[in-house]
Every structure is written in structure tokens, then in C-alpha cells.
């Protein structure tokens, strides 16, 4: 499975030109409320708690680049592996999760 630092996302997204990239946030709703990536025209942010992913697979395109995000990267790594096993073609895990996102991309983002 591909591991990406938040700072490397835009470069990875660029390698999939013509496809709308997704950041798949698999954290729980209370975590979304605590800290969430800013809206960005470069990708769609989809909030889908980890336990709900199997029931919501039809919301994700198997050919779309999908970067999975959680708090530190463990849950999102599990979801990324699951998506790969289900036939999704372009999946990555965001190493360090929203915590690394805050340090690398959005320093004003709350850390927890």
C-alpha cells in the first residue's frame, strides 16, 4: 500500500490528471468536529467513519485516486488495504493522519 505524507498529496493527485481525487476521512464524527481539513478545490473531502465504509462503497469510484485519512494513520491504513482488496485502483494512506496534516499543511488546525 502506498504511504504518503500530507505534503506529498498534491503531487500524487497530479499524477492522476483527469480524475477527481478524494480525501477519505475515516475518523468518527466527534473527531471531524475537532479538526478537519479545510475545503480545497484540489480534492473532494468525504467523511465516512471506518465502520461505515463497507456499507458505503458504492459512493466511491474504483478508478478515482483515494487518499485515506484518520488521526495518526492506523485506521486509514486498514481502510486503504480494504479498498485495495475490494479492487480500488489508486489508493494511498496519509501517514501520520490529521496530526501530520496539521504540522505539514495547516498549522492553525487543532491537534488532539
User: Catalytic residues, which ones?
Assistant: 70
The Cα–Cα gap between 37 and 86 comes to 26
The Cα–Cα gap between 52 and 96 comes to 22
The Cα–Cα gap between 71 and 78 comes to 13
DSSP-derived secondary structure letter, 37: P
Closest alpha carbon to 64 in 24, 36, 5, 99: 24
Backbone φ and ψ of 25, nearest 5°:
-90, 110
Find how far residue 22's CA is from the centre of its chain. 7
Amino acid at each position: 500500500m502506498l504511504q504518503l505524507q500530507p505534503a506529498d498529496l498534491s503531487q500524487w493527485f497530479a499524477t492522476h490528471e483527469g480524475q477527481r481525487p478524494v480525501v477519505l476521512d475515516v475518523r468518527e464524527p466527534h473527531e471531524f468536529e475537532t479538526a478537519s481539513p479545510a475545503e480545497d478545490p484540489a480534492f473532494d473531502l468525504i467523511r465516512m467513519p471506518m465502520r461505515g465504509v463497507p456499507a458505503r462503497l458504492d459512493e466511491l469510484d474504483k478508478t478515482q485516486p483515494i487518499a485515506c485519512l484518520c488521526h495518526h494513520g492506523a485506521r486509514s491504513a486498514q481502510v486503504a488495504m480494504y479498498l485495495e482488496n475490494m479492487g480500488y485502483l489508486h489508493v494511498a494512506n496519509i501517514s501520520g493522519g490529521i496530526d501530520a496534516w496539521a504540522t505539514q499543511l495547516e498549522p492553525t488546525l487543532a491537534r488532539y
